[in-house]
Amino acid sequence: MSTKPRQAVAADFVLHQPLGWPLYDANGLLLLKQGYVITMPSLIDRLLERGCYIGPPNTEQKRIQIDAGGDEGEQKEGGDDTAAPRKAAQAPVFFRTLDLITSIRRIHKLLCDPPALGVNIRGYVEERADQLIAMVGEDADAVLAAAYLTTEIPEYRPGHQLLGAAIAALLAPSCGIDGAQRRTLVCAALTRDVGLHEFDQSPDGTSRTLSETARAKVQGHAELSAGILATHGIKDEPWLRYVREHHERPDGSGYPVHKRTGEALPGSFLLNLADSYASMVLTSERVPGKFPANVIRELFLEKGHRYDELHVTALFKTLTRFPAGTLVSLANGEICMVKRTAADGKPMAYSIYDRTGMPQSSPVLRDTGQPEFAITGCVSPAKCQSAALIIRRLWQAAR
C-alpha cells in the first residue's frame, strides 16, 4: 500500500474481514484501527458518506479511539497516530458535529464503565470542548441544526449533552464567561449527566412515569456526576461545581440544594438554561420534544424567575424565534428547513417537501416575507425522516 493517505471507496471495505489499514477522518483523527472487523453495512455507508481516509498500515496499538458508530466502535485502543495522514480538507461543521456526538457517547462510556488503562479523561474531554467551541465559532447554525436533527445515535443522552454544551458555548461570551472559564463550562456541559448513564440503561430510563426511587436517582444525578468525574481525576473545582449546580435556578426552584442568585455560580445558571432548552426540544423515549419556537417562548416567559434574565435575553437574540434546523410549514403547503437567519431577521428556509408532500430533489430558498411562503407552523423532525438525505445535502453546501 502507498505510504500516503487516500480517500476510501466502497471497494476498500469487506464485511467480516479485518481492516488492513487504520482509517481516519478528514481532520486526521483515528476512526478505526487496523484489524478492526466491520459487521454492519450501515457503518460502511456512514463512513463513506462523511468521507474517510486510509492511512499507512501499522502494528502499534497505543491510543484511545473514537467510537465510529453504534456498538461497532466499542474498541478501547487504536492505531499509533504517528502514522496519521496529513490533514485533509475539513468536512462541513454539520458532519463534524455528528462525529462529536459519537465522541460524547464515548466519553460517558469511558467514565461509567470500568476505567480503561491509560485513558486521560481530562484531556479527552478538554479536546472535545475545544473542538465544540471552535465549531461554534465557525458555524454555530450548523452545530445547532445537527444536534437538533440527528438520529445518528439511538440514545438520547449524547445528543442532549452536545446540544446543551453548544448552547452554553454559544451564549457564554455575551454572558461574561469567556476564555478559560468558557472552556471549563463547556467541559462541565459535556459531562453534566454522566451520573444518569446507569439510569438511562434501566427500564426507568424509558418509563413515562417515574417511581419515587427513580425520581430520587434523577434528583441525585448532579452530585453523582461530580463524584464520578472526581474518581477519574477531575479536580477542577469550577468544573465540578458547574456539574453539581447545573439544575439550580435563580429563584431557588432548582435542585438538589435550591440555591438562589448569589449562591451558585452564574455559569451554573447558564448551564441550567442550556440544559432546559436541550431537554425540551429533543425527543427522548420518555418525553416527546417540543418545537424550538415554543420552547424559546416558554423560557422567555420565565426570565428573571427560573432563569437569569441576561441569559434568556442572550438565548432569544442568538437563536431567534426559528433556530437553525427548525422544520416549518409554509402557506403554500411546502415544508422547509431553516438554515440560517438573514441579516434582516427573516428565516432562510429551504424547501425539503413540495406542496404535494413529496421530498424536493432540489431544495429552493423561500422568501418567508412573501405571503405565499409565510411560515404557518412547525413540523417535527420525526415526520421528515424521508428527507434526511436532502437535509444533509443542504448542509454539505457552502454557507
Tens-place pLDDT, residues 327-348? 999 999 999 999 999 888 899 9
Same domain, 311 and 331: no
Residues 42 and 134 in one domain: no
Per-residue pLDDT, 4: 66
Sign of the alpha-carbon dihedral angle for 16, 83, 103, 240: positive
Confidence of residue 86 (pLDDT cuts 50, 70, 90): very low
pLDDT of residue 69: 36
| Type of residue found at 265 | L
- Give the Cα-Cα-Cα angle 213, 216, 218 (nearest 5 degrees): 115
Q: Are residues 314 and 332 in the same domain?
A: no
Is residue 279 domain-resident? yes
Instruction: Check whether 73 has a pLDDT greater than 80.
Output: no
When pLDDT is averaged across residues 216-245 and rounded to a whole number, the result is 94
Does 22 sit behind a cis peptide bond, omega within 30 degrees of 0 on the bond before it? no
Cα–Cα dist 136/288, whole Å: 26
Do residues 121 and 233 touch, judged by C-beta distance below 8 A? Answer: yes
- What does the radius of gyration of the chain's CA atoms come to, in whole angstroms? 21
Residue 6, strand partner residues: 54
Q: For residue 94, how many other CB atoms are within 10 A of its CB?
A: 27
pLDDT confidence band for 153 (50 / 70 / 90):
low
Boundary of a domain, candidates 269, 290, 319? 319
Cell of 172: 457564554
DSSP-derived secondary structure letter, 330? E
Of 54, 81, 108, the position where a domain reaches its end is: 81
235 and 169, same structural domain?
yes
The CA angle 270-102-337, to the nearest 5 degrees, is 70
Whether residue 87 lies inside any domain: the answer is no
pLDDT value, residue 225: 96
So what's the pLDDT on residue 224? 95
pLDDT score recorded for residue 364: 93
Q: Is the dihedral of CA 359, 360, 365, 368 positive or negative?
A: negative
Instruction: Give the phi and the psi of residue 151 in degrees, each rounded to 5.
Output: -125, 20
Q: Are residues 312 and 331 in the same domain?
A: no
Q: Where does the pLDDT of residue 56 fall: very low under 50, low under 70, confident under 90, or very high at 90 and above? A: low
Which residues lie below 8 Å from residue 270, measured CB to CB, with a gap of 6+? 168, 171, 172, 175, 177, 185, 308, 311
Q: At what angle do helices 93-112 and 179-191 cross, to 10 degrees?
A: 60
Average pLDDT over residues 193-205: 82
Is the domain of 363 the same as that of 252?
A: no
> What is the C-alpha separation between 396 and 277, in angstroms, rounded?
26
Amino acid at 320: T
Residue 232 pLDDT greater than 70, yes or no: yes
Instruction: Provide the pLDDT for residue 65.
Output: 35
pLDDT at 115: 55
Mean pLDDT of 238-265: 97
Note whether residue 387 is domain-resident. Answer: yes
Between the two ends of the chain, the Cα-to-Cα distance in Å is 37
The grid coordinates listed for 309 are: 434574565
pLDDT at 116: 53
In a domain, 126, yes or no: yes
Answer yes or no: is 235 within a domain. Answer: yes
The answer to the question of residue 1 being in a domain is no
Domain assignment present for 42: yes
pLDDT given for residue 62 in this prediction: 32
What CATH number has the domain bearing residue 184?
A: 1.10.3210.10
Q: What is the pLDDT of residue 317?
A: 95
Residues 368 and 312 in one domain: no
In a domain, 221, yes or no: yes
- Give the total number of structural domains in the chain: 3
* Statement to judge: residues 268 and 296 lie in one domain: yes
Helix, strand, or coil (residue 337): strand
Q: How far is CA 243 from CA 130, 140, 247, 272, 333, in A?
A: 18, 24, 8, 10, 44
Three-state secondary structure call for residue 15:
coil
Choose the weakest-confidence range: 68-82, 234-248, 262-276.
68-82
Can you tell me the distance from the alpha carbon of 274 to that of 107, in angstroms, rounded to the nearest whole number? 20
Give the model's pLDDT for residue 189. Answer: 98
Cβ pair 102, 151 in contact under 8 A: no
Residue 70 predicted with pLDDT over 50:
no
**Shared-domain flag, residues 34 and 176:** no
Among 287, 319, 351, the domain-final residue is 319
Same domain? 206 vs 331: no
Q: Say if residue 198 is in the same domain as residue 100.
A: yes
Statement to judge: residues 198 and 253 lie in one domain = yes
Residue 83 pLDDT exceeds 60: no
Across the chain, what does the average pLDDT equal? 85
Cell numbers 452554553 correspond to 168
Mean pLDDT throughout 85-95? 70
* pTM, two decimal places: 0.78
The torsion angles phi and psi of 390, rounded to 5 degrees, stand at -65, -45
Give the domain range for residue 99: 93-319
